[in-house]
């Protein structure tokens, strides 16, 4: 009887040990699986962080590019009233004061100068109005270099002259128009004499 009890106790003890060993092994396997899962989650989180950073940088770049594209202005020579400008003994920069639009604020109505806010390709056009028997000569300049001009002298009627040009500009380049010496232009509330330009695309 004692022998049977002893064998039974030994059997129970062995069974308990075997069960405990199996449980420990199962726990270890679960821990390893959990560690692998955590490592995989860390890798995924790092990949997500990199993707989010790249997406944010791309969005900022797109927003900056879109903002840079919004450059356009148009202005008439006189803000009000009517007036003949000129003649002068030397060339004079025309200051267009009647602002129709100035998106990007690149045109300065105090100086008559457009300053390129970004490197890009721009389009400009200007109009000049004159009365009979008066010489009209106006040029568009880029950094003190003449790009295009209008010239006319009508003996009998009023007349308008216009010219336009596409220019490749660096950031900070200046574009403006000048009235030639011994010439004049006329403007009134109808804005016969005007200056306009806009960014076609950045470079």
Which three-class secondary structure string do you get for the chain? CHHHHHHHHHHHHHHHHHHHHHHHHHHHHHHHHHHHHHHHHHHHHHHHHHHHHHHHHHHHHHHHHHHHHCCEEEEECCCCCCEEECCCCCCEECCCCEEEEEECCCEECCCCEEECCCCEEEEEEEEEEECCCCCEEEEEEECCEEEEEEEECCCCCCEEEEEEEEEEECCCCEEEEEECCCCCEEECCCCCCEEEEEEEEEC
Domain 71-202 has CATH 3.60.10.10: no
pTM to 2 decimals? 0.69
Q: pLDDT at position 153, please? A: 87
Q: pLDDT at position 10, please? A: 46
Contacts of 75 (CB under 8 A, 6+ apart): 96, 97, 98, 99, 100, 102, 107, 109, 194, 195, 196
**Which residue numbers in the chain have pLDDT < 70?**
1-19, 55, 57-68
Cα–Cα distance list, 154 to 132, 150, 158, 160, 164 (Å): 5, 13, 7, 10, 21
Report the candidate in 66, 60, 77 with the shortest Cα–Cα distance to residue 184: 77
């Amino acid at each position: 009887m004692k022998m049977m009890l002893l064998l039974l106790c030994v059997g129970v003890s062995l069974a308990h040990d075997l069960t405990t060993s199996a449980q420990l092994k199962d726990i270890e396997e679960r821990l390893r699986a959990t560690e692998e899962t955590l490592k995989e989650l860390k890798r995924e989180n790092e990949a997500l962080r990199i993707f989010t950073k790249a997406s944010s940088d791309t969005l900022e770049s797109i927003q900056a590019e879109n903002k840079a594209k919004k450059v356009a202005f148009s202005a008439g020579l006189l803000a009000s009233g009517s007036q003949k400008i000129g003649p002068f003994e030397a060339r004079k920069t025309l200051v267009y004061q009647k602002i129709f639009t100035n998106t990007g604020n690149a045109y300065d109505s105090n100086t008559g100068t457009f300053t390129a806010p970004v490197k890009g390709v721009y389009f400009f056009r200007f109009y000049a109005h004159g009365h009979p028997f008066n010489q009209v000569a106006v040029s568009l300049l880029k950094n003190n270099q003449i790009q295009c001009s209008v010239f006319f002298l009508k003996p009998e009627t009023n007349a308008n002259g216009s010219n336009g040009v596409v220019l490749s500009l660096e950031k900070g380049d200046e574009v403006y128009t000048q009235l030639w010496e011994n010439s004049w232009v006329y403007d009134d509330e109808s804005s016969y004499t005007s200056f306009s330009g806009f960014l076609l695309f950045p470079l």
